[in-house]
Each structure stands twice: as structure tokens, then as C-alpha cells.
Amino acid sequence: MVRNPIDRLTDGMPRGYRALIDWLATVAFALAIVLFVKTEVANPYRIPSSSMEPTLHCAKPAVGCESDYSDRVLANRFIYRFRDPRRGEIVVFHAPPAAARLCQGGGVYVKRLIGLPGDDVSERDGRVYVNGKLLHDSYVLPADRDTITRDFGRVPPGHYFFMGDNRADSCDSRTWGTVARSALIGPVFATYWPPQRIGSP
């Protein structure tokens, strides 16, 4: 008969102590699994502003929010170890220092990846162009476009250009520049709260 390490460790102890140690070991193992998943696999994030409306909702009474509850999303924390980020993905990342100065604060942001390293990004009357070609961004509602016309230049090597889907109300790479790959946490792969919003964004 194969005995597990806990049984061998508690051999000879009273039954009550053995049961308590077995229970504590089970709880500790479960917590270790949860922490590993949270740190290395998937982590939950809340949508704090209206910059991704209506793709991802933030909570009223904040200006521009369409819902009474913020969407809670899960980000894949390990996938970028195996592949490069892709244009169009909604990505969670650590905002650069300039974002804290120029927006409502720093911390963790959730935006859509628009420009890859080497891409030339510009905006003309609210329409985005990448390398001179119109970006097909049907996820942006007409009412959420702005009227900006500006050339943002070429995205540096190892950096990425992000924009919110609510272009008229998003403090993003147009304001504070590009984001280094080392600051990317991972792409959003699911909305898990509120229940009526469960699914992929």
C-alpha cells in the first residue's frame, strides 16, 4: 500500500491530530494552487474608466460609464512568454510614468493594442491608420470617435501603441506614448462579472 507523505509524517500521532494536519495540508495546497494561478496563469482586473466603453463597461456614476457595475475581466499572464502580442487584442499592462502625470493616475490599464513595433500610427479626423492603411475598427461606435488628426510616428522596437475603444474619452498612447513589452501583463480572454456579461470581450 502506497502512503502519502502526510500519513508517513503523522504516523503514531493521535487520530485527531492526524486529521487536523491532513486538513491544514489540504487547505495550504489549495491556497498554493490559487496563488500560482493568480500569479502565473490568470488574474482578475476591474475596468476603472469609460475608455473601453462599450466593449468593456465601467460603473456609474463615473462620467461616460454605461453600467451600474464594472466589468471584471481575466487576463492571460503567461501567453506572451510563448508568442508576440497581436494587433486588436485587449491587453492589461502597467501604465508608463507619463500616464500618472497626464491622465487620472497610473497603475494598471486595460486598452486595445493598435500599433506593433515598427508600425507607423496616425489618426485623421478620428479614423486610425497603421502604416498608411485604414484600421478596420468596427468595435468603435461612431459617437465614440474623436476628431483628432495627428501623426504619432513609428512605434519603437520592443514597444506597443494602445488606444481605448471609446476614443473620445480615452487617455492612451496618443497622450503618453508607447508601452514597453516588459510592462505588458497579458491579453484579456474573458469577462467573468457581472453574470449577464460573462463571455469573451
pLDDT at 123 over 80: yes
Among 34-43, 96-105, 169-178, the minimum mean pLDDT is found in 34-43
Q: Grid coordinates 466603453 are at which residue? A: 53
- Give the angle 41-106-122 at the CA atoms, nearest 5°: 90
pTM of the model: 0.80
Give the catalytic positions in this structure.
51, 111
pLDDT at 42 over 60: no
Averaged pLDDT for residues 27-44: 50
Secondary structure of 91-117 as H, E, C letters: EEEECCHHHHHHCCCCCEEEEEEEECC
Residue 166, pLDDT score: 95
pLDDT at 106 over 70: yes
Percent of the chain with pLDDT over 70: 79
Strand 159-163, strand 179-180: pairing:
antiparallel
Over the stretch 51-86, which tens digit does the pLDDT of each residue have?
A: 999 999 999 988 889 999 899 999 999 899 999 999
Taking residue 98's Cβ as centre, other Cβ atoms within 10 Å add up to 12
